[in-house]
Structures are given as structure tokens and as C-alpha cells.
A = this chain, B = another copy of it.
Amino acid sequence: MNGDGPLAGLVVVDMGQLLAAPEAAMLLADFGATVIKVEPPTVGDISRKSGWEVNGTSVWWRWLGRNKYAVTINIKDPRGQKLVRRLIDGADVLIENMRPGKLEAANLAPEDLHSTNPDLVILRVTGWGQTGPYSDRACFGTQVEAMSGFAAANGQPDGPPTLPTFAIADAAAGYLGAFSVMTALHGRDKHPEKRGEVIDLSLMEAMFGLLGPQASAYSALKAMPQRIGSRSPMGAPRNIYKTRDERWLAISCTANRIAHRVFTLIGQGHLLDDPEYSTPEGRLRNVDKVDELVQAWVGARDGNDVIGQFSAAGATVAPVYTIADIEEDEHFASRKMIVDVPMENNESLRMQNVFPRFQHNPGSVKWSGRELGADNTAVFMERLGLSQQEFEEYKRDGVI
């Protein structure tokens, strides 16, 4: 049960469910950590039954459970609590996402865990955080996407606030959670007198952090992000335009010189004598006119022609892709961004690769999410030394 990769030797117990916490654990497993995923017996992780299913198991589990060892423990049973405690006592990291107080109710309070494993890093993931007036309320990604400021500034100006289709808040918390675990481990290893750590990661803060300096803009200037379709408060042109052959292209001008290239290319170079079009502030003031000029030029041409001319002019353009387009794109293929991963019955499943790529000691995908309890024997008998009799008894009583 030892992987390779930069995190080889690191032992992680993943008691999270569904998305943010298990994704943090998955990133650690991707880079070689030994991640033992603990699920409730019989039902398993919620992600096993969440949306699109392949052979009766959701693609969410098959992705989030990859590279992990799957065991079952009923942590409501005192024997289950002792069993998971033995796993945690031998681990570097515990990841959990129960509502505040539930870990404590299972006799697994952080201070208790630190009494026998003082070096343990505990990542606690919740919607609201461990403290504060809302901490007892249920909170999932949707609520975070609504309250962080994202939805209010997502969508068309004449339409409603719009939630994302993708689970952005959870995934952001997964990335930030994995970073915070590695940061706490570094602190522990470099400053051993500091020992273990308890990390209070809220989906709300992970998402709010992702959205940039809106608090600064608002408090100093009373400026705030608005629902402006595909435009951006940082520059113009930046939008999605429709070509003659009905393709959607995204064009943006992060740097002023790129905007100048675009104006020259679309035959409007004469406007660059006017600060209303030659400066970022001027173009933002005249964004309707700017978009009209770009759309008129793009709309008179086919997509490949526009992409070719923009690229030759050193201007940034990209087509709007679906996953079907991605699967056919030569760059995605060349980078092996999607790989075939072994599943049960000698089948395989395509899923995203390990990101980012390390030149010398990279991560890898070894297997997709396993069947419920697939590693009970290896973990409980071989690793923890449970006897055959105990194992059978625990199984019979629903402890595992």
C-alpha cells in the first residue's frame, strides 16, 4: 500500500463525503499519498449515487475515489470508532466534512486525536466554517455560489442571477484544501515544536477567495461586479461573438496592445487616434460600440477564418468548446489531458489526468474509484492486524 510520486509515504484518512473534502484527498492520492477512504457500510459515499452512472456507479465516485483504498466503517458504533481511531493514529492527515460537532460526537474530537497522534494534520471542510452564527446551518456548493457574490454577477444584464452548472465552489475548496494540508505538513516538518494542525476550511471562504478583490473595490470605490453577460470589468473587447457559420468565439484583450491589434485587424485602426477607443477606460465607456464593431466583422466570416486571422495578428481568440470538441482537439490529445483508467471487469473509463504535470517525479492515475469495502481485508487485517474472527464479527454486526 505504498505509492510512488512526491507524496509517497504520506498516509491520509479520508472521511469526507461527495465533493470538496474527497477532492482534496484525491489530489493527495494523485501524487502518491496512501489515501484510505472510509465510507459508511451498505450505503457508501453519496458520490456513488450522484448523477451520471456507469455500470450502476456514478462518474463522480469513479473520479473522486481514484487512487484511493476503499474501506467501510460505521462510526456510530463504538467498535467502529475505535477502528477508525486506530487508522487515524497511524496517519499523517485526517480529512473530514461533517457538520460542526459531529466529529466530536463520534469521539474523534481533534484534541483527543492529538493526544495520541500529536503530529496529525486535520482538515475540516464545511459550508460555513466551524464558527460563526450560521455554522449550524446546512450549506452546500449552491448556497456558496449564491452568497459569495458569484451568481449576482453571472448571466445576462436582463436575465436573472445565474448559478454555475459545474460545482465550482466545492472544487475550489478541494484545491485550496489540498494546498492547506501540504502547508500544514510543511510547518509540522520544519518546525516540529508546532506539531499537528487543525484547519478550518469553509466552502464559502474558498469561493470568496477565488473571486478576487471585490471587497477592496467595493469598500474603496463602491464599485462591484455586475451581471454583464460575457463582458469583463477589466477590459474591452471581451465577449463571445457569433460567426457566419454559427460558431461562438471568445475574444479578450487583457493587454491594451492586443486591443490595438484587434482594431487594426477589423479595419477600425483609425479609431485608435481617439482616446475613447485607444485606452482601456475609453473602450469600457464605449463597450456597446466596441462589441458592435467586433461582432460585425466576426459575423461576416466563418469561424476558422476568424481564428486564423486573429492568431496571425497576435490577438487572442478561442472557440467555445463542449467536452465533445475537447475529445477531438489535437492539443488536449497531445497533452494527454484525458486518460483511460482501469475499472472493474477489465473495462476502462476516460477521465481527466493528474494536473499539473511534474517533470521528474509526476503523479499518475492508477485506478478509478473502487467497489464499496474493496480494501477492507487489506486495511483491517493486513495493516491493522485484525484477526479473522474479529473481522467476521465486525462484518456480521455492520461495524465494517
Contact = CB atoms under 8 A, between A and B. Distances in A.
Number of copies: 2
Interface stretch (A69-77, A188-196, A264-272): A188-196
Given A197-B360, A218-B324, A10 B186 contact: yes
Contacts of A166: 150, 153, 210-212, 225
Contact of A208 (B18, B156, B206, B337): B337
Interface string A235-263: 10011101000001111101100100000
A133 B311 CA distance: 13
Contacts of A251: 142
Interface residues of A, number: 159
A6 B160 contact: no
Interface string A311-328: 100111111111111110
Interface in A278-329: 311, 314-327, 329
Interface stretch (A49-57, A101-109, A377-385, A386-394): A49-57
A84 interface: no
Given A152-B320, A338-B215, A349-B220, A163 B240 contact: yes
Contact of A218 (B146, B162, B316, B323): B323
Given A146-B240, A360-B194, A230 B151 contact: yes
Given A60-B213, A240-B151, A360 B195 contact: yes
A224 interface: yes
Contacts of A142: 232, 238, 250-252, 254, 316, 318
Nearest to A222: B324
A217 interface: yes
A155 B217 CA distance: 26
Given A154-B154, A208-B355, A186 B175 contact: no
Contacts of A140: 252, 254, 316
B319 A201 contact: no
A98 interface: no
A197 B361 contact: yes
A151 B320 contact: yes
A350 B248 CA distance: 38
Contact of A254 (B18, B165, B194, B329): B18
Contact of A337 (B205, B311, B355): B205
9 A-B pairs with the lowest CB-CB distances in the bound complex, closest first: A6-B187, A182-B182, A146-B250, A143-B318, A142-B252, A201-B356, A175-B175, A219-B350, A163-B230
